[in-house]
Amino acid sequence: MKLEKLIKGFERVIVSIQANEFPISFPAKFEVREGKLMVEKPGWLDVKIPARACMLFHRHNEFVKKIRSVTLYGILRQRGDILEFEPIKCYTFKQGDLNTLRFIISGKKRARKFFKKLAQSSKS
Amino acid sequence: MTAKIPEWIEEVFERYLTAEFTYLDGEMPRTVAVLPYYDAKKKKILITTSPAFYKKVGCVKRNPKVCVLFSNSRYSGIGGNAVVLVQGIAKVNENIEENLHYLMNLMINYRDCWKKRVLEKMAEELMSPIVKWLMDWYVLRIVIEVKPKRLIFWKDGKIENRPEVLEVVD
């Protein structure tokens, strides 16, 4: 799916990069150009670039329902004052109907696997 | 500058409905939207997760240097658009029973705000028999406690400007 379509309706993105010691995150406005995400580089940002980065788009209502999120993993490069993000992997989630059912089933399976592993490790 | 956590920032921790939690998976930062709690006595931000998402917990245990971004004042009742980034050290508590009691007590004594009502509503929903059966795995929570080390913030929310920075003392 095209990046523009994936992130349609979102007004900002959370940019996360590994800085010197801790990771750093900040909200930013964005633009899409030729399949890449463009974010203005804040003047105070002092990190080594190119770097691996995560871009999170998310929203919800006042009850933290109607959740929609898009997470992109990729490489961040600098072009002048602009940070250019090239997505490599993408995960999307939209709460409701089949997606919620999938979330529940997958959660149940994963949790069962976790407790099975835990029981095995406590036996040995 | 070294200081205690300012009161207005503690209020942000308590009242902002959601935040963005970032941990490292090797060199890759991974960010998830979370509904964090704040323990004002311990001065720690609490991120909770189900054992179903244990990969996140494993990453945090390997590298406890994380950050939590409070960037959205919507539904918080706090005027303005303050943005606060917390860089801190995470500690994982996997004792699920202990966590359940801890979080319940924390919620009972939580500052009266919209977030408290949302948390109470969620807890109520999880009590209905059908939801209980479907979401039993979700109710079990692993707690990731984040002890703030550095606060990077924009009180006016103007992220393009140089932020204020506070190194946190115990």
pLDDT per residue as tens digits for the range B131-167: 888 888 888 899 999 999 999 999 999 999 999 999 9
Asked whether residue A70 is domain-assigned, the answer is yes
A42 and B CB contact within 8 Å: yes
B78 with B41: CB under 8 angstroms? no
Asked whether residue A19 is domain-assigned, the answer is yes
As a whole number, mean pLDDT of residues A83-88 equals 96
DSSP A115: H
Best residue of B16, B23, B24, B31 to probe chain A, by most A CBs closer than 10 Å: B31
Q: Do B52 and A18 touch (CB under 8 A)?
A: no
CA distance B135 to B131: 6
Asked whether residue A109 is domain-assigned, the answer is no
Is the per-residue pLDDT at B170 higher than 80?
no
A96 and B CB contact within 8 Å: no
Domain that holds residue A87: 3-96
Provide, rounded to the nearest whole percent, the portion of chain B with pLDDT above 90: 81
Kindly indicate whether the ipTM for this predicted assembly is greater than 0.85, answering yes or no: yes
As a whole number, mean pLDDT of residues A57-66 equals 94
At the topology level, CATH places domain B2-168 in Pnp Oxidase; Chain A (2.30.110)
CATH (domain of A26): 2.30.110.10
CA distance A14 to A12: 7
Residues of A in Cβ contact (< 8 Å) with B54: 110, 114
Q: How many domains does chain A have?
A: 1
Provide, rounded to the nearest whole percent, the portion of chain A with pLDDT above 90: 67
Tens-place pLDDT, residues B1-32: 778 999 999 999 999 999 999 999 999 999 99
Which of the pair, B84 or B170, is modelled with greater confidence? Answer: B84
Is the full-model pTM beyond 0.95?
no
Confidence of residue A1 (pLDDT cuts 50, 70, 90): low
Question: Degrees (nearest 5) of the Cα angle A116, A111, B23?
Answer: 115
Confidence of residue A69 (pLDDT cuts 50, 70, 90): very high
Neighbours of B165 (CB within 10 A): 13
Asked whether residue A59 is domain-assigned, the answer is yes
Asked whether residue A52 is domain-assigned, the answer is yes
H helices of B16-151, where? 54-62, 96-108, 114-125, 129-139
How would you class A51 by CB atoms within 10 Å of its CB: exposed for 0-12, middle for 13-18, buried for 19 or more?
middle
How would you class B146 by CB atoms within 10 Å of its CB: exposed for 0-12, middle for 13-18, buried for 19 or more?
buried
Lowest mean pLDDT among A55-64, A71-80, B132-141: B132-141
B106 with B45: CB under 8 angstroms? no
